[in-house]
Structure 1
Amino acid sequence: MSGVKFELQKEVFESTKERLHGVVTVQKTNRKKKIPAYLCITGSIERPIRFTIYLVKKTEKGFKRKQEWTLSSLKESNYKSKESLEFDLQLEKSYHWLAQSVEEKDAFFALLHQICSRMHRPPKFLNFHIDEEDEATRNVNMAIVSVPKDTQMIESGDEEFGLTEREEFDLEKVLGRAENAVVNAEAFMEQLAKELSILDGENIHSIMDSEAQVNSLMDSIDKSISQLEEIENELVDYEDAVTHVKSAVEKIEEENSQMGTAAKNNQHLLSELTNLIRALDFPVGSQILNADFNSVEGIAKATKDAYALKEALNIEENIHPALLKMRSVADQKRRLEKFKQKFSQNLMSHLAKLFIHHGNISSIDSSSTVQALRLPIINLMYNELTPYTKLMGWLKVMDSEAYGSLLKTYTLSIQKIYEKNVRILFEEARTRISGSATTSGKLSGSTNDLRIRGRFFGKTRSLANREGDTESQGSGEGSVDSSERQHFYDILEQVLEGLEPSVNTEEKFIASFFCLEIGSSSSGNVSIVSPSKGSAGGELRRIMSSLFSAIETELNSFLTNYEKMEASFCMGAMVRLGNHALKAENTSTYIGMIFGSVLVQEKRSFDRLMNSYVQAINDSRLPRKAKPGILAFVTDFEDFAVMAESIFGNSARRSDLEKWYVKMLTAVFDGIMRLAGESGKTPGEVIRMENFHRLHSILSRLKVPALEQQKKDAKIKYNEALNGYVTKYFGRPLIKLNEFFEGVQAKVSQGVKESEIGYQMAFSRAELKRVIKEYPAKEVKKGLESLYRKVEKHLSEDENLLQVVWRAMQEEFIVQYKSIESLISRCYPGSKITLEFTIDDILLFFSEIAQSH
């Protein structure tokens, strides 16, 4: 608290010439956010003393006085209780505060009570007792005022206080010595005058007695003054001497400073010259011209010397620009440039010979590797050229023209190797697939040739056969079977796997050896990056395109050739290309880019194939003579889906297949509905019922989550067709009974009670019995046999739905029978009229008819 008091005194009350006597930390009791403030009691330094109460708050900029009150405005102080931190002050209005601690509260009230007790009209102090005041006063760390108590006069507002306690005591003592002081004031005044004259006389005698002592004191003072003058004269002499010494010292310091500056300049000049000599010094000039590029040690030595030469040529980075104008510096740079040019020519000539040499020896037949369907890796060349990597980095920085010439020489030398090997690899792949192949890629007449044997979905039945005839189906040609298809895909997979290692290895070597990566340095420390990023990446991609342009050309030709024989091969090619393009090791590599480019072509082939499938479905027609049965495109879809599932599986390209599944099924649904509407002899309900039943069965077996909705839709359309057929062809075998009871229901709807129907002439019991007699059990069975033959004629044997339809008709007959029985029991109660056959008879009829056929 003493620290806060000190800050308040210095920052707030120092400028207003007030002294802080007491302070208490408070906060208002009616605020949710408790913001602390300080309640201060101050007194003026000048007399008469004025006491003031301030409310001070602390802000970010310091303390700020918010409110102030004169002490005379205090009417009442409520201490409340010892246990509570709350207290009230009644000023111009009542203020309620909460002290930070009981000790601060007690000290504040003790000080306030002590000051107010001297006022002419002190305020009221509630719940604050004298014994508490005495105890609190002992703990107060603040003095009230420094003016003596007996002389202190306190003013509050415009009102002065009375006599102090000391003044009252002295006055009473004087008055007590004169008994008539109050009665006879004149006598009292005379007595005081006599005493005053006596005191004055005593003071004069006392002064006269001390005259000798005063004279002695004056003599001592005169001697002291004389000695002080002597000391002052000596100090002046010393000051003059020191002034001369100061000038000499300053002159010496200036001379020392100039000498230090000269020494620093000399040291700086020596340092610059040393750096210049070190930068320009190249002691191995003659050695670098005769560098040995044929041994590992010689290459390492040449590399070290080359980078030393590079550092010497980059002199601008190490010395001051002004030094470059020196003739010796210019001469040395010309000398170093000659070293660089000669070394660069020697290095370029040596590397160019190496490139051409390896281009020739690597062109020797690599049949053993290619026959394994793997593009050979030129490890011999890589091992021999790798030690020159840092020198190639030096050449790229120091002689870009020589670097570009070597890059071109390497590309031309190595390009013919890869073109030859890629061509041999794909010829070997064709031989593996077709038995033998010519350079043109056409199949020979070998019995192992892969021939085109079907035009659609790999089945003898073709959706492209718009007329629906079977002439082309009897030619004896089979489709490409699953083993032949898998054989083609296996060879394709081997080709793709065989291309990757060689191409990726070559790309990493070129990027490292020719320093074509982003972030590569002249020291040869490099890291492989995407060939499509930055200028270095673009150069890498250009070189790879020159070396391996044959891959994309041969791969596209290879796939196109076999897709002309079997268009569905594009599906497996698309899956395998996608898998290889997404391999982690192929990401951002040239081979991955090739696979991606060919994948785009295969995706287009796949889309064309699927469009042809959909178009064939849309163009399909019913057979002219035979029963439609299961439509060709429904069975073909099943074969296609089985084949596609085996190819795509859970591959990354499955989403492409599922999108076409939906489009194909939409065309299949529309085709079934369209052809059902075009049918002649066969009811459209039968075509829809049989084909949607088969389609639902196909989708259930496939278990493709993406086709779940199509499976439900097929089930719904099958049930609709079945119910429609039963309703249309089963009809109402008890037609007259049905018409009779339709009339009964009409009367009931007109308001006739069911129990009174029998009294209607047209619907009497006799009339009902007459109608019932027209339907004996024998005639009912005969009618059902005729119906069975009709259903049997409508349905085909492809889907075997005869018994399903017959059971549905049986259930429909039973429903009609129960409806008639119910109407008889309600409209003719107690008549004991019943049909001449029972439900058991109906079940027996249906069973016997089905078994007999």
Structure 2
Amino acid sequence: MSAMQQQQQQQQQLGDDGDLQGSVEAFFANTDSAVLMAFRVAKSQASWSVAGRRTRLTTKPRILVVTVSVLGAYLRCWLSIAAVYIFCVFPVHLFRYFCGNLMQLAKLYKLKHLIKVEAVSSDNTGCSFVMGFDNLKNQRVAPPQWNMRTLDDRNRLLTGILKLCKENVGRIPKIIGMDVVEMALWAQANAKSLPIGGPVSTDAIEAGGEEKDAKVTVERELVSKAEEDDMEALLGTYVMGIDEAEAFSERLKRELTALEAANVHAILESEPLVEEVLLQLDAAQSSVDDMDEWLGIFNVKLRHMREDIESIEARNNMLEMQAQNNGALVQEMDTLLERLRVPPEYAAILTGGTFEEARMPQNVEACDWLAGALHGLEPPFLDANYATMRAVKDKRAELEKLKATFVRRASDFLRSYFSNLVDFMISDKSYFSQRGQLKRPDHADLRFKCRTYARMLQHLKTLDRNSLDPLRKAYCHSLNLLLRREAREFANELRASTKVLKSTGAWLDSTQGGATQGAGGGDNSPVSEAYAKMLRIFIPLLVDESSFFASFMCFEVLPLNPPSAGGDDDDKDDDDISAMEMDGTDIKSSEQNPAELESLNQSLQELLEGIQEDFYAVVDWAYKIDPLRCISMQGVTERYLSGHKADAAGFVRRLLADLQSRISFQFNRFVDEAKFQIERHDRNVKQMGVLSYIPIFASLAGRMENLIQENSRDMVDQAYMKLVGTMFTVLERIAQVDPKYVDVLLLENYAAFQNSMFDLANVVPTLARFYQQASEAYEQACTRYINSVINYQFEKLFQFAQRVENLLYTISPEEVPFQLGFSKMDLRKILKTSLAGVEKVLQGLYKRMQKHLTSEELLPSLWEKFKEDFLDKYESLEALLMKCYPNEALSPSSLEMKEIFKALVF
């Protein structure tokens, strides 16, 4: 662009600015605002999408106007001088166009809120910037960007705003991203074009608003034009070279001396004025001294007056404090007297009232009051200073006497009440089982009557903790009689009503009927059902009684009732009687109290002592009828015991553990008897075939497996280990009686054990181990027996082969025929004697094996094993002869021998 075009553009812009200034001033003609600056700008503001990302940048034309407005005036004093100040604000107006070229006010910003001006980094021209205001920090849209037409407009606007803020607001906004030095140089070069150069003068603005078109003037300038010209002329007269600096300094010193002399001369000429001022100062000093004296007098009087006022206030404060203390003392004494008063109705109940069920609410209410009264006389509820008062001591002694009287009366009543209640139930036979009728014990009525006095027991524990021990013993003694009577009558009737066939108890008899049991059937015998019924009826009853006793007798332990064991669906009574606070609210214990739990278990021992004898009687009765029923009884007991492992009441667990030990003892007794019968089985008598106790044990094991219930497996496995171990030991001992047939007896019995235990060994790990042991013993016995049969006819032949093999360790195969006893003649002789008529020999061996065995089903497998072992040895012999005697052929050969075996007919 040429210089002429730039000049034309600037002139056009100036013309436009002039029209704009006039339009803006016409807009503010009827207001109290004066226009300082007006510019045409472009407003750019980003629009935001829903997701928060910038989508487009909108640009709109705007007019930016800076005005000054008069807010008001006030009088401010400083020392002895008064001045009137007019406070102005400098709003920045933002106009927009509508309906063509008409202007409309869009925004109004106050310069006192302007905190920063930041250049837009994306604009390389530097004409765009953003103004930040402290009252617009929380806006949700991005601040607008202002784009000036030229840098001159930007510098003119910002320089004017900075000067207005500095001179009138007292601070300047922060400039970010702009060269401040460049702006200062521009302001120096264009100082005349700026609309303001200092504080705004209020003379240019009429307070009443008569001349709205008055221009804003400048009150002062930092440097006038004349002074600036003089400074330039002065600086121009000197050549600021380094070599003339000393001369210039000397000249300045001389001029300074001349100026100081002129100043001293001027001061001396003003001596009359100074003297007059001094006289006035002396007069003022005299007046000040007089005033100081008067002020001292007034100060003394004021100090005395202040002391009098303080004395009066202190006396008034003491009187007020004394009145307040007297009032508080009277109130506290009234409260103490009310606390020490004993209501006559409560005193009558505690000392002489009855304990009938209808009167129990009154008794509980009196106990509540007594406990609260005793509690209220203890710190921190009662101040420690009151504890030494005679009235408090007397009242405490009176309350202690009331407490002792009530505790004694209530304890005597409850001991008698428990005994009479149980005696009444024992005397009534309808509570117990009778001939032909099993009756389940029902203590609902007993617990209902006891619950009537539950709260009174809790109050007794609160009043006197030691009073519960005799009551607990009395309750345990009375209820123990009832429980033992119920258990004895129930057990007797249970045994009498069970119809069973009594056996001798011998282990051979106990196996009868074992074949009729299903593989997976359980124990449905009347004996086992009777024992299970005994546990099903009395174990929950004992647990309930333990839980009720712990709650009723105020033991501070966690609830004793565990989850129901054995699948019982019996209805449970709600026996949760909780301890309570002094105000009557229940106390729920969150942690187990070891001392209380130990005391509870001791009391339960007294409560349930002796009842186990009736359970033992049922176990012994069941054992006499059928010893194997101990297995099912053990499973039932273990199931109940596992269900009561979390039970805090130890007596029930001990009872079940004792029953388990009793059942184990009886079953071990049966196993020991069976073991003894096996050990004495036909001692010192020649045995042939399968021993009788092996099929008996198979039947016994099958029945025992049918009777196993859940956790009785360990006991049965222990029995298996004892019995099978004894069986194998006795078998080995009996086999040694006749060494000729030892292997035959062993293989037949081990084979019989495997055949009878095959199905059970697949499901019972213990029997599987014994099955494996029998299988290994059977294989060893078979091997020994087959070797004996082979050696019966072919011992010399195979011994010769063995001696040849031993000889090969020291000599070569070619040298063997030349050894003594190993010549070809010796070989032919052995072969002739051993293999002559081999078909008849093999048939004779088959008949010999058939004669030895009592079990025909074993013969085919044994003959097959004989054939395999014989052919293996025969093939080894043939190979050995070909190696040592190449010219001597084995006849028959190994192939011919196989054909001979195939041709044998039995």
Aligned twin of 1:490: 529
1:255 to 315, 337, 345: 315
C-alpha change, 1:269 and 1:630, in structure 2 (3 Å) is farther
Tell me if the contact between 1:686 and 1:721 (Cα under 8 Å) persists in the aligned partners: yes
Matched, 1:416 2:473: no
1:616-631 pair list within 5 angstroms = 619-620=679-680, 623-631=683-691
1:701-850 pair list within 5 angstroms = 701-702=759-760, 703-706=763-766, 708-731=768-791, 733-735=793-795, 737-738=797-798, 741=801, 752=812, 779-797=837-855, 800-823=857-880, 834-835=891-892, 838-844=896-902, 848-849=905-906
Aligned twin of 2:362: 301
Cα distance in 2 for residues equivalent to 1:197 and 1:359: 133
Instruction: Tell me which amino acid in the other structure corresponds to 2:492.
Output: E
Tell me if the contact between 2:687 and 2:734 (Cα under 8 Å) persists in the aligned partners: no
Cα distance in 2 for residues equivalent to 1:200 and 1:327: 99
SS class of match (2:429): coil
Instruction: Tell me which amino acid in the other structure corresponds to 1:301.
Output: Q
- 1:397-418 deviations in whole A, cap 9, x for unaligned? 4366875555455445444333
Shift, 1:300, TM fit = 2.1
Shift, 1:643, TM fit = 3.6
Instruction: Tell me which amino acid in the other structure corresponds to 1:452.
Output: T
Cα distance in 2 for residues equivalent to 1:421 and 1:195: 137
C-alpha change, 1:222 and 1:734, in structure 2 (3 Å) is same
Shift, 1:196, TM fit = 9.8
Tell me if the contact between 2:744 and 2:781 (Cα under 8 Å) persists in the aligned partners: yes
2:714 to 655, 665, 669: 655
Cα distance in 1 for residues equivalent to 2:248 and 2:393: 120
2:382 to 293, 310, 319: 319
Matched, 1:362 2:362: no
C-alpha change, 1:540 and 1:763, in structure 2 (3 Å) is closer
2:660 to 573, 581, 599: 599
Instruction: Tell me which amino acid in the other structure corresponds to 1:688.
Output: L
Shift, 1:807, TM fit = 1.3
C-alpha change, 1:682 and 1:823, in structure 2 (3 Å) is closer
Aligned twin of 1:382: 447
Shift, 1:495, TM fit = 0.9
Matched, 1:428 2:493: yes
Shift, 1:809, TM fit = 0.3
Shift, 1:720, TM fit = 2.1
Cα distance in 2 for residues equivalent to 1:223 and 1:672: 151
Shift, 1:727, TM fit = 1.9
Shift, 1:394, TM fit = 1.9
Tell me if the contact between 1:390 and 1:524 (Cα under 8 Å) persists in the aligned partners: no
Cα distance in 2 for residues equivalent to 1:172 and 1:484: 134
Shift, 1:772, TM fit = 5.2
1:151-300 pair list within 5 angstroms = 172-173=243-244, 205-206=265-266, 208-212=268-272, 214-215=274-275, 218-219=278-279, 221-222=281-282, 225-226=285-286, 228-283=288-343, 284-285=345-346, 288=349, 291=353, 293-296=355-358, 298-300=359-361
In terms of mean alpha carbon deviation, does 765-774 or 376-385 score higher?
765-774
Tell me if the contact between 2:431 and 2:441 (Cα under 8 Å) persists in the aligned partners: no
Cα distance in 1 for residues equivalent to 2:792 and 2:586: 93
Tell me if the contact between 1:453 and 1:479 (Cα under 8 Å) persists in the aligned partners: no
What is the aligned residue count? Answer: 638
C-alpha change, 1:418 and 1:622, in structure 2 (3 Å) is closer
Shift, 1:740, TM fit = 5.8
Shift, 1:645, TM fit = 2.8
Tell me if the contact between 2:438 and 2:490 (Cα under 8 Å) persists in the aligned partners: yes
Instruction: Tell me which amino acid in the other structure corresponds to 1:718.
Output: Y
Cα distance in 2 for residues equivalent to 1:606 and 1:524: 53
Tell me if the contact between 1:692 and 1:715 (Cα under 8 Å) persists in the aligned partners: yes
- 1:158-190 deviations in whole A, cap 9, x for unaligned? xxxxxxxxx996974455679xxxxxxxxxx9x
Aligned twin of 2:608: 548
Cα distance in 2 for residues equivalent to 1:192 and 1:424: 139
C-alpha change, 1:309 and 1:760, in structure 2 (3 Å) is closer
Matched, 1:645 2:709: no
Instruction: Tell me which amino acid in the other structure corresponds to 1:383.
Output: F
Tell me if the contact between 2:732 and 2:746 (Cα under 8 Å) persists in the aligned partners: yes
Shift, 1:680, TM fit = 1.2
Matched, 1:451 2:451: no
Shift, 1:421, TM fit = 1.8
Tell me if the contact between 2:632 and 2:709 (Cα under 8 Å) persists in the aligned partners: no
Aligned twin of 1:508: 547
1:398 to 457, 463, 466: 463
Tell me if the contact between 1:511 and 1:528 (Cα under 8 Å) persists in the aligned partners: no
**RMSD after superposition:** 4.8
Shift, 1:237, TM fit = 3.5
In terms of mean alpha carbon deviation, does 347-356 or 303-312 score higher?
347-356
Shift, 1:569, TM fit = 4.5
Cα distance in 1 for residues equivalent to 2:273 and 2:743: 155
1:46-195 pair list within 5 angstroms = 172-173=243-244
TM-score, normalising length: structure 1: 0.63
Tell me if the contact between 2:507 and 2:670 (Cα under 8 Å) persists in the aligned partners: no
C-alpha change, 1:336 and 1:585, in structure 2 (3 Å) is same
| Identical columns (%) | 21
Shift, 1:427, TM fit = 0.8
C-alpha change, 1:168 and 1:568, in structure 2 (3 Å) is farther
SS class of match (1:587): coil
* Consecutive unaligned residues in structure 1, runs of 5 or more: 1-133, 139-166, 179-188, 436-447, 461-477
Aligned twin of 1:688: 746
- 1:68-118 deviations in whole A, cap 9, x for unaligned? xxxxxxxxxxxxxxxxxxxxxxxxxxxxxxxxxxxxxxxxxxxxxxxxxxx
Cα distance in 1 for residues equivalent to 2:813 and 2:473: 109
SS class of match (1:627): coil
Tell me if the contact between 2:688 and 2:745 (Cα under 8 Å) persists in the aligned partners: yes
Instruction: Tell me which amino acid in the other structure corresponds to 1:265.
Output: N
Shift, 1:299, TM fit = 2.2
Instruction: Tell me which amino acid in the other structure corresponds to 1:390.
Output: R
- 1:491-547 deviations in whole A, cap 9, x for unaligned? 1111111112332332233222222344844759477999x9755545544554444
Cα distance in 1 for residues equivalent to 2:398 and 2:621: 63
Instruction: Tell me which amino acid in the other structure corresponds to 2:463.
Output: M
Tell me if the contact between 1:359 and 1:417 (Cα under 8 Å) persists in the aligned partners: yes
Shift, 1:484, TM fit = 9.7
Shift, 1:758, TM fit = 8.7
Cα distance in 2 for residues equivalent to 1:611 and 1:453: 12
Instruction: Tell me which amino acid in the other structure corresponds to 1:491.
Output: A
* Consecutive unaligned residues in structure 2, runs of 5 or more: 1-177, 183-237, 559-578
Cα distance in 1 for residues equivalent to 2:772 and 2:697: 17
In terms of mean alpha carbon deviation, does 313-322 or 828-837 score higher?
828-837
